[in-house]
Amino acid sequence: MEKLKGRDLLSLANLNSDELKELLQLACQLKSGKKNLKCNKVLGLLFSKASTRTRVSFSVAMYQLGGQVIDLNPTVTQVSRGEPLIDTARVLDRYLDIFAIRTFEQKDLETFAHYAKNPVINALTDREHPCQILADLLTVQECFGRLDGITLSYFGDGNNVANSLLLGCAMVGMNVRIATPANYLPNMEIVEQAKTIANGNSEVIITEDPQVAVQDAQVLYTDVWASMGQEQEANSRIPIFQPYQVNEKLLESAADNVIVLHCLPAHRDEEITNAVIEGDKSQVWKQAENRMHAQKALLVSLLGND
Ligand code: CP
Ligand code: NVA
C-alpha cells in the first residue's frame, strides 16, 4: 500500500479507517497466497521487554518477504551502558531500513521515531500494542466474515491491549466494551479518541460491570492482570480482577456464536480459565498465527514492495 510507505506506526491512530481496512485486506491476501510480495530490506528489533510472538512473527514475516532481521536488545548494545536514545536512533537509522521497538514509555518510542527517518513500529509500549490489534481484527474478520457491527468485549486491566482495541474497533465500525475495576481504567484520552472516531455510529462503552459488557457480545477478549513491568503487583491484583475472569459462566451471557481471544501469554485460571482457552470457542491459536500475516502486510506497506 503505497500511501503508508515511509510512515511510522506508533499508535493505531496513525492510520485512518480506510488505511486500516486496506492493511487487513492485504494481510488476508498475503495469508491466502493471492498476493506474494517481496521486500529485500533489513528490520531491527529493539526490545526492552520479553517477547515470543512479536519477536518471532516479525522475524519470520521479514524472512518470508526476502528481507533480513537484526535482533537487538539493550544488553547487546551500548544502550545498557547509557548511550542516549537520540544518538542510538540516528546511528541505527543509517544501517537499518525499519524498526520494531518494544519498550515501556510511549515517549521513548516517539523520541526514537523523531530522530530516525526510517519507519518505526510500536511493538508494544505501556500505552499501546497496535500490532496485536491488527492480528485481532484479522481474526474477527475471518471468523465472522465482517467487522462492521460486531461487538467485542474486553475484561480485565485497562492496559495497552485495551487501549489499542478501543482505537482499532472504533476505526472498523465494531462495538467495543471495556469492563475493568474502577482504578484500572483504560487511558481516558484514548477512550475519548475512540468515541470521536466512532462518532455515535458504534458503541464505545467503559463499565465496571462484566455482566453489562458481556450481554450478546460476539468476541470476548482478555489479557493478563499484571503487564510486564507490573510484576510486583501481580498477587495483590488477583482478588481485584477475579470478577473479570473469562470463564464458562461468563460465556453463557454472550452471543451463541461467540469467540474468545487472548493476546497471550495467558495465565490459566487467572484472567481466563483453562476450560475456556482450550474450549471450542477459543480462537487464540489462529489469532497468534495472524500476528505474522498482519505484520507482513504492515512491513511491506511501510517499506514498499521491491
Ligand atoms: N501477544 C504478544 O505480544 O506476545 P509476545 O509478548 O510473546 O510478543
Ligand atoms: N498487557 C501485556 C501484553 C503482553 C503481550 C503486557 O504489556 O505485558
- 146 plus 55 within the same structural domain: no
What is the pLDDT, as a whole number, of residue 306?
82
Q: Are residues 123 and 13 in the same domain?
A: yes
Output the residue whose Cα is nearest ligand 2's atom 3: 227
The residue assigned the cell 551502558 is 81
- Residue 146 annotated in active site: no
164 within ligand 1 shell (Cβ under 6 A): no
Best residue among 263, 272, 284, 289 to mutate for probing ligand 1, ranked by most atoms within 8 Å of CB: 263
Q: What's this model's pTM, rounded to 2 decimal places? A: 0.98
Residues 163 and 19 placed together within one structural domain of the fold: no
Q: How many domains does the chain have?
A: 2
Residue ranges making up the domain that contains 97: 2-128+291-303
C-alpha 39, offset from chain centre: 23
Beta-carbon contacts of 134 under 8 Å, excluding residues fewer than 6 positions away, are 20, 23, 24, 27, 168, 294, 295, 297, 298
User: Do 155 and 38 belong to one domain?
Assistant: no
Same domain, residue pair 150 and 266: yes
The answer to whether residue 129 is catalytic is yes
Same domain assignment for residues 41 and 122: yes
Residue 69 pairs in a beta bridge with 43
Instruction: Please confirm, yes or no, whether 263 is among the known catalytic residues.
Output: yes
Task: Note whether 140 and 122 are same-domain residues.
Answer: no
Q: What is the pLDDT of residue 2?
A: 85
Q: Are 38 and 305 in contact (CB under 8 A)?
A: yes
Q: Is the CB of 159 under 6 A from ligand 2?
A: yes
Q: What is the whole-number distance in angstroms between the Cα of residue 210 and the centre of ligand 2?
A: 21
Relative to the alpha carbon of 136, which ligand is closest? 1
139 with 264, same domain: the answer is yes
pLDDT of residue 38: 94
157 pocket-lining for ligand 2 (C-beta < 6 Å) = no
> Residue 166: which CATH number?
3.40.50.1370
The pLDDT, as a whole number, for residue 54 is 98
Are residue 78 and residue 167 in the same domain, yes or no? no
Indicate whether residue 48 lines ligand 2 (CB < 6 A).
no
One domain, residues 118 and 195: no
Ligand 1 in reach of 262 Cβ (< 6 A): no
What's the 254 CA to ligand 1 centre distance in angstroms? 26
Tell me which of 161, 187, 272 to substitute to probe ligand 2's pocket, judged by most ligand atoms within 8 Å of the beta carbon.
Answer: 161
| Catalytic member of 106, 132, 193, 218 | 132
From the first residue on, what is the mean pLDDT of each consecutive set of 10 residues in the chain (306 residues)? 93 98 98 96 98 98 98 93 97 98 98 98 98 99 98 98 98 98 98 98 98 98 98 98 98 98 98 98 98 98 93
Q: Note whether 94 and 170 are same-domain residues.
A: no
263 CB under 6 A from ligand 1? yes
Do 60 and 7 fall within a single domain? yes
